[in-house]
Amino acid sequence: MLRFILVSLVLVHPLAAQAGDLVLNDVKAKNGVQLNAEELKQLMPNTKVISYFGGSTRKWTNEADGKLMAYSDARGSFKKQLTQVTAHGTWQIGKNGTYCITLEWSKKTEKWCKYIFNVDGKYYGVKSFDDGDAIAHEFEFSK
């Protein structure tokens, strides 16, 4: 059984990468520059965010008071989990230099922190700075 699980995991990761997902090693290979806490504090307030995650596109604005209202098209892996396509939430910059989000959807709470990298004007967030295979989720940030 354990052997089956390990083989499945080995096969699934390349399929995710083929689907267009980048991983941290890809971001580093493209000379991605990690934004530090000070850079994030300058970039994030009053910024419009588009997040591509799990097949869904979500949009919100990081209000100066740390609040946000997110909208999702509820596609992809979130389709069955979300009956509501809006969520109240909060954002903050973590002490470790991560961009942190909490979203209160109708049926679930989504909470995460990501290290943000800039790759030639595109932004990617990764959960782990130490795992080269961590999926790099694409973000758009604009004022």
Q: What is the pLDDT of residues 21-33, one digit of tens each?
A: 899 999 999 999 9
Query: Region 10-17: what's the mean pLDDT?
Result: 40
In the prediction, which pLDDT does 79 show? Answer: 57
Q: Give me the pLDDT at residue 80, please.
A: 61
At 13 the pLDDT is 41
With cut-offs at 50, 70 and 90, classify the pLDDT of residue 135. Answer: very high
Beta-bridged to residue 40, according to DSSP, are none
Span between the terminal Cα atoms of the chain, in Å: 51
Domain residue ranges of the chain, discontinuous segments joined by +:
2-142
pLDDT of residue 82: 54
Domain 2-142 classified CATH 1.10.3470?
no
- 10 Å CB burial of residue 80 (0-12, 13-18, 19+) is exposed
List, for residues 63-103, the tens digit of each pLDDT value. Answer: 999 999 999 988 876 556 555 589 999 999 999 999 999 99
Strands (E), the chain: 22-23, 33-34, 47-53, 56-62, 67-72, 86-93, 99-104, 109-119, 122-126, 135-142
pTM value surpassing 0.75? yes
Distance CA 80, CA 58 (A): 16
